Amino acid sequence: MEPAASIIAKFGGNAKVAEITGVHHSRVADWKRPKAVKGTGGTIPIKHINKLLAEAERQGIPLTAADFLPVEETA
């Protein structure tokens, strides 16, 4: 689910994002799951955004705050 799936992919997967944010990789996986199955519906919790933006800048990964805005999924 977007935008979490795309952002996580930019960093190289759940394990890398978990390391950056200090959470378990299963929590990162939850960000890509629908809310109906106890995920976040594609949103990354706000408390992790600054860490991810700083790391993206450090690594030269193109990422902006706007990339974290939720998008409407189409069927």
pLDDT digits (tens, 9 = 90+) for 27-40: 999 999 999 999 99
Tell me, yes or no, whether 37 lies in a domain. Answer: yes
Residue 74 lies in a domain: no
Number of domains in the chain: 1
Domain holding 51, by residue range, is 4-68
- pTM of the model as a whole: 0.91
The share of the chain scoring above pLDDT 70, in percent, equals 96
Euclidean distance between CA atoms 66 and 57, whole angstroms = 14
Q: For residue 53, is it within any domain?
A: yes
Q: Left if phi > 0, otherwise alpha if psi is -120 to 50, otherwise beta: which for 2?
A: beta
40-50 pLDDT, tens digit per residue, is 999 999 999 99
Q: Please report, to the nearest 10 degrees, the dihedral formed by the alpha carbons of residues 66, 58, 7, 72 taken in order.
A: 0
Mean pLDDT of 45-70: 97
What's the pLDDT at 75?
59
pLDDT, position 8: 98
